Amino acid sequence: MRDRNDRAKIAIDVKTTYRRTERSAFSYTLGSYTSYINPATESKNIVFPYSDYGEHWVIGFVYRRRSDKRSGDSGVYTIDQIDDVPLPFDDAAVFMQEKRRIAGDKAGSGNTANIGSITGDLDDFVSGKGVFDSEDEFIRYWRGYQRTKIARGKAYGTIDGFRSMTWTNRNHGIVNAAGTNRTCGSKMRRRTPLTGTCSAGWNHGRKPKEISGRQTLDSKGPGHLDI
């Protein structure tokens, strides 16, 4: 970046994991989808607000753990013996790729809300064989991704489901298929910004209800739709 006020900063995330063999598949977690990626919390767990960054890159390290190096091999070494310290890993490799180009459509961990990468070998990460066609699609998908299986069943849980829903919504005047968290009474629901008219009947996976050949605005707030 040129200075702290530069709105085209480049974010770099360093990730590490291990693989069993040179051709083994592996994956990473790529950051939370409930914190800085959302406009309302874009300064959470990040140096600058998310909107300040123009690009997002990952430097990924992958290595093989040496099973022959156990804790029993530990010892005390002097500085002069530093080259004699046995490494607990070998076959290390590194790549650099744009985050959205290695992102998958599933959460990367079971108990935390992290974006998951693709699962593949090193060539897949070097080539950037992610599932998203653009940065915009990546952002909209993960901003709207629900934390629980039940909630995803009412919205989407795969890139194919997201694209299908996006296509359907656009044909009903809805431009942005994934929204931000907003509180509705005592429950947290996902709402979608609209630029056209829409229906109150999209809740819980129902299709928009046609009324006199047009769609009606969601009764829970002008310009929003629950998904």
Average pLDDT, the chain: 78
pLDDT tops 60 at residue 139: yes
Indicate the pLDDT class of residue 1, thresholds 50, 70 and 90: low
Would the pTM of this model clear 0.75, i.e. be above it?
Answer: no
Indicate the pLDDT class of residue 126, thresholds 50, 70 and 90: very high
Indicate the pLDDT class of residue 79, thresholds 50, 70 and 90: very high
Three state DSSP letters for the chain: CCCCCCCCEEEEEEEEEECCCCCCCECCEEEECCCCCCHHHCCCCCCCCHHHEEEEEEEEEEEEECCCCCHHHCCCCCHHHHHHCCCCEEEEEEEEEEHHHHEEEEECCCCCCEEEECCECHHHHHHCCCCCCCHHHHHHHHHHCCCCHHHHHHCCCCHHHHHHHHHHHHCCCCCCCCCEEEEECCEEEEEEECCCCCCHHHHHHCCCCCECCECCCCCCCCCEEEC
What are the residue ranges of CATH 3.40.600.10 in the chain? 1-145
Condensed to tens digits (0 to 9), the pLDDT of residues 2-59 reads 777 887 899 999 999 999 988 999 999 999 999 999 999 999 989 999 999 999 999 9
CATH class of the structural domain 1-145: alpha beta
Q: What is the pLDDT of residue 174?
A: 54
Indicate the pLDDT class of residue 107, thresholds 50, 70 and 90: very high
Indicate the pLDDT class of residue 194, thresholds 50, 70 and 90: very low
Condensed to tens digits (0 to 9), the pLDDT of residues 148-179 reads 999 999 999 999 999 998 887 777 655 444 44
